[in-house]
Amino acid sequence: MSLASVKSFAEEFKSRYQELHILINNAGIMMCPFGLSKDGIETQFATNHVAHHYLTMLLLPLLEKSAPSRIVTISNILFTRELSKRLESKGVTKVYANCNHPGIVRTQLFRHVYSIGSIMDRIRDFFSISAEDGALTQLYLATSPEIEEKNIKGQYYVPLGAPSTPKGIAASDEHLLELWDFTENLIKEKIPDYEGAPV
């Protein structure tokens, strides 16, 4: 959730590697107690969205240079839809940005929702899938030849590798730019030398 950490990672990656073909944004926390990141951003928003946005923008020039390449973001639908639109408007044809919901997965994501060993924990385990199965949809978006063959961009997928339609706010066109602009302005406020999105 630290923007300085994201920046440091991106700089180190670019200093060591000349190509990047797959970026999977998969950091996530859920329903945690209220807290602020070092940057003063609510922790869940900082981790699940702002850091993904910032990392993607810092690595996007390398992803474009390395094309064909792919960006897979877990559940961040508005970000992915706007990113895909911007890439298309820029004339970038070989960077495939898609997103997915992994399903209800047996991981520590639920640790703030109820205590481990509780009846709800056991019920969740009954209806959930393994971490390995939870990874399949993002691996499909990151590696399947079908993504390029069918020119799949800006789409939302659910387990196991099935296309789906966003609902509610995630389906709204007006919120795409609103979230994008808010996030860009927030990052510029927190990281003064950030030049802004390259798309």
Domain range summary for the chain, segments of one domain joined by +: 3-190
What is the predicted pLDDT for the residue at 104?
77
Tokens of 167: 């609902």
What is the predicted pLDDT for the residue at 109?
62
φ/ψ of residue 97, rounded to 5: -100, 120
Query: In CATH, what class is 3-190?
Result: alpha beta
Q: What is the mean pLDDT of each run of 10 residues along the chain (199 residues)?
A: 97 98 92 94 97 98 98 96 98 98 74 65 76 93 98 97 96 95 98 97
* CA 51 – CA 20 distance, rounded (Å): 18
* CA 120 – CA 125 distance, rounded (Å): 8
What is the predicted pLDDT for the residue at 111?
60
What is the predicted pLDDT for the residue at 128?
80
What is the predicted pLDDT for the residue at 115?
60
Rounded to two decimals, what is the model's pTM?
0.92
* CA 177 – CA 175 distance, rounded (Å): 6
What is the predicted pLDDT for the residue at 102?
92
